[in-house]
Amino acid sequence: MNHKEIERWYRLRNLQKAAQFLIVVAVVLLVSAYLASRFFKPDRPDFHPTANADGSMKTENFSYSSPGAHPWKLAARSASISEGLDNVSLVAPQVTYFGQEGGEIFLSAQTGQLDRTKNNFSVAGDVAIRYRDFLFKTNEIQYSQDESVAATDSPVSVESPDLSLTGKGLRLWVKRREIAIDDDVRAVLRNVNLLKHGQKLPM
């Protein structure tokens, strides 16, 4: 084997190594894209994730729908998805919960966190919860999918055409259709019989 043949052999081997490397990179990118589409199934056609320096993915117009018998839908202006696809940091999240009797609960906030493994989420900053004529406001709140409970220990306020209420701490049992304000409750009722004794919210 002469010098030219040896040089040609080295070039061919280097080309083979480069081709193998490119194939591996392509496979990794395809698998990552498949996993993102498999787990997050965006509802909008403009879902274009970009990679962050820490390995997470950032996308605009993020949306997510929870599985199960009591579904809710989440949308956010943007989201950063962890490398493991389990944790999502949200900007301007909005959540819609679909009640058992057609009632819907709408939640909005400045920021949020979604734990996809447990389908739990938390939100913070100008939190507003709207249900029919009721508007609940607080600084932060957490939702547990297993317990179907939204809860906060922060100060809260409730407004409706016939009610103004403030207090500290809130528990919203979604399946039971019950709400409790924990402490320092002050309320003003205006010409209304909200619920009869033992009656549940029509959700």
C-alpha angle with apex 103: 93 to 117, nearest 5 degrees? Answer: 45
Of 27-31, 85-89, 135-139, which gets the smallest average pLDDT?
27-31
The answer to whether the CB of 179 falls within 8 A of the CB of 156 is no
pTM over 0.75: no
146 band by pLDDT with thresholds 50, 70 and 90: confident
**pLDDT for res 175:** 75
Domain boundaries 41-189, CATH class: mainly beta
Pull the structure tokens for residue 38. 């498999």
Beta bridge partners of 15: none
3 band by pLDDT with thresholds 50, 70 and 90: very low
**How many CB atoms are closer than 10 A to CB 23?**
10
Q: How far is CA 178 from the centre of its chain?
A: 23
**pLDDT for res 64:** 86
The C-alpha atoms of residue 67 and residue 187 are separated, in whole angstroms, by 37
State pLDDT tens for residues 178-188: 889 989 999 88
Residue 69 has pLDDT above 80, yes or no: no
State pLDDT tens for residues 11-21: 555 556 555 55
Type of residue numbered 45 = P
42 band by pLDDT with thresholds 50, 70 and 90: very low
The C-alpha atoms of residue 194 and residue 131 are separated, in whole angstroms, by 14
